[in-house]
Structure 1
Amino acid sequence: MDRIDALRLFSAVAELESFTRAAERLGLTPGAASKQIAALEERMQARLLERTTRSVRLTDAGRALLDRVRPWLMEYDAIETGLAAEQAAAAGVLRVSAPVDFGAHKLIAPVTAFMTRWPGVEVRLEMTDRMVDLVDEGYDLGVRLGHLNDSSLIARRLAAAPMSLLAGSAYLEAAGAPAHPSDLSRHDCIIDRNRPAPMLWRFQRGNEQAEAKVSGRLTLNGAKAAVCAAASGAGIACTPEWAAREAIDAGDVVEIMKDWTPEGRDLWAVFPSNRYLAQRVRLFVDHLAVWFKDGLCARETA
């Protein structure tokens, strides 16, 4: 039993004037309760209770201790109860980290729908392309794209994030369209620094795999920026389908080399631990899983 429990036992004995009834209230045996009070008196270097065969009464030292600890115990119990209730309730601040492009273009709608469903939750969405430390920086949850390396985090896969190889029609008319990944070394490729290994693109066709070491005169960071650059004729981009779908459907860019599938990534929700996970975090992860269950391009609004 820790010191807080010992003080709580002492307070109960003083209130009930009985070791037996106090032990019963706290789920202890009378013998165990008596030993704990004796240990408390030894720590305090004072006799706290006068014991007789018929009653238990406070000494002057016991009364002084009770006057000090009773308000503190009440406050502690209130804090403990409040924290437990907050953990169980869908309320409070939810701190989320997400990549800039994905956060701006794909997370705002599900976040808004979640806040509508759970009005007690305040969402603080921090969009950054650096790899944040969720624990040290105080985030409840990270939304990440790619392959996860941090084994200390709990991760839940939300959806696949396929890639598209594309270019603008003006570029293709001038430079021609590649037919095989090896052809990409002769093309101007748009380098997105946000990608892992941005100058090494991997592809698959059935059981066949290939990789291309690419280069280009334009280097940037951001999937949407790469799509815009491809649409303007800057070269060939290999970018997430969710970032390119609108431009593809509008005819601003053309998907090329369709028989070769670019290596895709996954969308993940990551968080420090399943233990004592706040209810608002659990609900938000479940919400994202349902929102993206049909893929990242399935819907834009609730």
Structure 2
Amino acid sequence: MDRIDSLRLFSVVAELESFTKAADRMGMTPGAASKQISALEERLQARLLERTTRSVRLTDAGQALLDRVRPWLIEYEAIENGLVTETGKAAGLLRVSAPVDFGAARLIEPVTAFMAKWPEVEIRLELADRMVDLVDEGYDLGVRIGHLTDSSLIAKRLAGACMTTIASPDYLGEHGAPVHPDDLSRHLCIIDRNKPAPNQWRYTRGNEIVEARVNGRLTLNGARAAVCAAAAGAGIACSPAWAAEQALAEGKVVPLLDGWEPDHRDLWAVFPSNRYLAHRVRLFVDFLVDWFKDGFEQGGAKR
């Protein structure tokens, strides 16, 4: 690791107050990060960080160094990104977070296509259904579906994500089909905890809006799991159309509530507010915008 990278690592450790988190962001082991900081302290003949089992804090010398090098590192990053932009090249590690089901079903293809176009970019794709803290956990970009609440992030809309209400023919044969959203309260509904309001399904028909309170015996987390449960006859599910398309095509489930539109959700690319956003991040966001410009309900854009 050269001296600039050592200073970068020191800055990240100071920001995150953790060798483990800093090492993950820099793509190295915590042990290697600790050794690099120790080497930096040896070279400067000053203790920069106070290490305990629970935290890492700056010493007075460390704070003085950070105050001097942070503006320089920002400027250096800007110069580096500017030169890369001028040459049109992209390189380095791109850390991306996405939901499990959507990431596996719809994001792998554009990720692979982007890597083919930019062979010097390495992508670390982490699939998780929890709300990932992009800044604290060191991600460059997050792909999210739904209504955004974190105002500290920059968001770029990629596409609309339509929802569909479904059930199996066997379930409908035994329980009948709802014709109005209010009827859902008398049915077994499959509750997906990944939704922001799992027990509140919102529908519109023209200017009419209905908030249906739903309940059921099965609660789970995941769009595909909800579709599979509906196909098995466990009840009625309201899931993203992309997750249900195969089951619908095979006749395992059928659409319900004709004329009523479930609450619409959007697909977003979100990233931390950063004056000097890395060129590879800008390129990937633009690539996703183009990839999903025709939507993704039927497999996404094809290349």
TM-score, normalised with respect to structure 2: 0.71
Offset of 1:84 from its aligned partner?
Answer: 4.0
2:92 matched residue in structure 1: 92
Distance (whole Å) between structure 2 residues aligned to residue 98 and residue 162 of structure 1: 18
Q: Deviations over 1:229-255 (max 9, x none)?
A: 000100000001111111111211100
1:190 matched residue in structure 2: 190
Distance (whole Å) between structure 2 residues aligned to residue 231 and residue 218 of structure 1: 13
**Structure 1 residue ranges, 4+ long, deviating more than 3 angstroms after superposition:** 79-89, 298-302
Offset of 1:299 from its aligned partner?
Answer: 3.3
Offset of 1:298 from its aligned partner?
Answer: 3.8
2:56 matched residue in structure 1: none
1:291 matched residue in structure 2: 291
Counterpart check, 1:124 vs 2:134: no
Q: Which amino acid is 1:201 matched to?
A: W
1:1-302 paired onto structure 2 within 5 Å: 80=76, 83-84=80-81, 88=85, 89-299=89-299, 302=303
Q: Which amino acid is 1:131 matched to?
A: M
Unaligned runs of 5+ in 1: 1-75
8 Å CA contact retained: 1:163, 1:264 = yes
8 Å CA contact retained: 2:159, 2:292 = yes
Offset of 1:214 from its aligned partner?
Answer: 0.4
Percentage identity across paired residues of the two chains: 65
8 Å CA contact retained: 2:81, 2:278 = no
Q: Which amino acid is 1:175 matched to?
A: H
Q: Deviations over 1:210-229 (max 9, x none)?
A: 01110000110000000000
The 3-state SS of whatever aligns with 1:113 is helix
Distance (whole Å) between structure 1 residues aligned to residue 83 and residue 165 of structure 2: 47
8 Å CA contact retained: 1:87, 1:278 = no
Distance (whole Å) between structure 2 residues aligned to residue 107 and residue 172 of structure 1: 33
8 Å CA contact retained: 2:194, 2:222 = yes
8 Å CA contact retained: 1:178, 1:256 = yes
The 3-state SS of whatever aligns with 2:211 is strand
Offset of 1:86 from its aligned partner?
Answer: 7.6
Offset of 1:264 from its aligned partner?
Answer: 1.3
Q: Deviations over 1:120-164 (max 9, x none)?
A: 110000011111111111000000000011111100000001100
Distance (whole Å) between structure 2 residues aligned to residue 228 and residue 127 of structure 1: 20
Distance (whole Å) between structure 1 residues aligned to residue 129 and residue 249 of structure 2: 27
8 Å CA contact retained: 1:192, 1:221 = yes
Unaligned runs of 5+ in 2: 1-71
8 Å CA contact retained: 1:140, 1:271 = yes
Distance (whole Å) between structure 1 residues aligned to residue 115 and residue 193 of structure 2: 33
Change over 3 Å in CA distance of 1:167–1:285 after alignment to 2:
same
8 Å CA contact retained: 1:226, 1:237 = yes
8 Å CA contact retained: 2:164, 2:241 = yes
Offset of 1:85 from its aligned partner?
Answer: 6.5
RMSD of equivalent CA atoms? 1.9
Q: Deviations over 1:84-137 (max 9, x none)?
A: 478633110000000111111110011011111111110000011111111111
Change over 3 Å in CA distance of 1:83–1:296 after alignment to 2:
same
Distance (whole Å) between structure 2 residues aligned to residue 135 and residue 86 of structure 1: 25
The 3-state SS of whatever aligns with 1:215 is coil
8 Å CA contact retained: 2:191, 2:219 = yes
8 Å CA contact retained: 2:157, 2:269 = yes
The 3-state SS of whatever aligns with 1:201 is strand
Instruction: Give the number of equivalent residue pairs.
Output: 226
